[in-house]
């Protein structure tokens, strides 16, 4: 289940605001439309927004019709800035934009048409590499899963959050494909309901047993012994292992430690921000209050009530049992295991 396709100069995104009740492919013809789709969460999930951003630059630069190379690179910097300004937390977005821009700069001696081609090829390479990374995360992570484990996951770190297969759900898929009778508890993940709408949908489609629970039920199931491990994705991992992920991840990690349940993060190395020493340096996106007061068009809360809506939180490294990456499983002390990846 891929959430994005690039065909004939157009980026097609499965509209994740409408899933699972409606399958609508949203078409982006301009880089501004790509930026809007990221901001409005038509596409979401750290790796998926990274690759979407790369295609956005390819679309924007393909529309450049002049012959002056300085103007070409000015436009490239402008588009990169617009796309980076969409969502602040997932480092994959910045990583992807910088990778495409650097590739163009390295080839600045070539013709404009050639550089345009190189930009698109880089985006396509990142798309392919993401799926390969997820398969590797799945292979490594499967080693941590026992034959009849019940795994709790939060948000959606599945095919829909990546270019296919998923990170946290990649591990679950790999275990399922290996014949293990795994079951999943999917937290609904308020306010945007990625768990209820996307994770439950993906797993059901794949025939992997999934049970949907409200976010506040996780502690109960941990305490009564119905959860064997937790696996979530990540939006940004600091050099010390502190991890930003969907709001509510921190709560789960604390509950897991209290109940002696392993807590795993599954993410590609591109989600590690080697520049920051701890999670305190991660910018947490605050989104529109309407996501909390409403579910789609339906109003739940009183008009004008004060709302806070941080989209992510930081789980301190001490709550994380291991980080499953595409280059192997990292164990504490993460300062050491992460440094070795550099």
Q: Which residues are the active-site residues?
A: 235
Q: Which of 162, 199, 240, 270 binds ligand MRU (CB under 6 A)?
A: 162
* Site membership for ligand MRU, residue 246 (CB under 6 A): yes
Q: Which of 159, 199, 245, 293 binds ligand MRU (CB under 6 A)?
A: 245
For ligand MRU, the closer CB: 24 or 29:
24
For ligand MRU, the closer CB: 52 or 167:
167
In angstroms, rounded to a whole number, what is the distance separating the alpha carbons of residues 50 and 95? 7
In angstroms, rounded to a whole number, what is the distance separating the alpha carbons of residues 176 and 183? 9
Task: Map tokens 């209290």 to a residue.
Answer: 258
Omega of the bond prior to 333 within 30 degrees of 0, cis? yes
* Site membership for ligand MRU, residue 45 (CB under 6 A): yes
Site residues (CB under 6 A) for ligand MRU, limited to 69-98: 90
* Site membership for ligand MRU, residue 120 (CB under 6 A): no
DSSP symbol at 286? B
DSSP symbol at 195? I
For ligand MRU, the closer CB: 99 or 246:
246
**DSSP-based helix, strand, coil % in the chain, nearest 5:** 45, 20, 40
For ligand MRU, the closer CB: 97 or 161:
161
Q: Which of 11, 19, 35, 46 binds ligand MRU (CB under 6 A)?
A: 46
In angstroms, what is the minimal distance from the CB of 19 to ligand MRU?
A: 12
**Helical ranges in the chain per DSSP H:** 31-39, 46-62, 69-84, 91-106, 112-142, 168-177, 194, 200-205, 218-223, 249-258, 290-293, 334-339
Q: Which two tokens stand for residue 145?
A: 């899963």
* Site membership for ligand MRU, residue 323 (CB under 6 A): no
* Site membership for ligand MRU, residue 47 (CB under 6 A): yes
For ligand MRU, the closer CB: 116 or 173:
173
Residue number of the CB atom closest to ligand MRU: 233
Q: Transcribe 27-46 into DSSP letters.
A: EE-SHHHHHHHHHTTSS-SH
Site for ligand MRU, rule CB under 6 A: 44-47, 90, 155, 157, 161-162, 167, 194, 232-235, 245-246, 311
């Amino acid at each position: 289940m891929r959430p994005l396709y690039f065909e004939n100069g157009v980026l097609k995104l499965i509209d994740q605001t409408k899933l699972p009740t409606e399958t609508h492919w949203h078409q982006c013809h301009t880089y501004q439309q790509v930026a809007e789709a990221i901001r409005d969460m038509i596409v979401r999930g750290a790796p998926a927004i990274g690759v979407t951003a790369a295609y956005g630059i390819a679309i924007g630069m393909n529309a450049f019709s002049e012959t002056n190379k300085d103007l070409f690179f000015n436009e490239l910097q402008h588009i990169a800035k617009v796309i980076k300004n969409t969502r602040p937390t997932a480092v994959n977005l910045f990583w992807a934009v910088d990778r495409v821009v650097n590739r163009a700069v390295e080839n600045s001696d070539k013709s404009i048409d050639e550089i345009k081609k190189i930009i698109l090829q880089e985006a396509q390479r990142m798309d392919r590499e993401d799926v390969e990374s997820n398969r590797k995360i799945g292979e490594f992570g499967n080693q941590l899963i026992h034959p009849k484990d019940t795994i709790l996951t939060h948000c959606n770190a599945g095919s829909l959050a990546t270019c296919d297969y998923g990170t946290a759900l990649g591990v679950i898929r790999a275990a399922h494909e290996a014949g293990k009778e795994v079951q999943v508890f999917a937290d609904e993940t308020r306010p945007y309901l990625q768990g209820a709408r996307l994770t439950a949908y993906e797993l059901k489609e794949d025939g992997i047993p999934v049970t949907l629970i409200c976010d506040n039920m996780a502690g109960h199931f941990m305490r009564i012994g119905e959860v064997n491990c937790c696996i979530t994705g990540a939006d940004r991992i600091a050099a010390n292992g502190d991890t930003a992920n969907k709001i509510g991840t921190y709560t789960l990690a604390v509950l897991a430690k209290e109940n002696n349940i392993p807590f795993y993060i599954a993410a590609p190395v591109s989600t590690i921000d080697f520049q920051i020493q701890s999670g305190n340096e991660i910018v947490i996106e605050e989104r529109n209050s309407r996501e909390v007061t409403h579910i789609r068009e339906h109003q739940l809360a009183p008009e004008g009530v004060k709302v806070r809506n941080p989209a992510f939180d930081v789980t301190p490294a001490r709550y994380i049992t291991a980080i499953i990456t595409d280059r192997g499983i990292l164990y504490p002390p993460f300062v050491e295991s992460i440094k070795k990846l550099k």
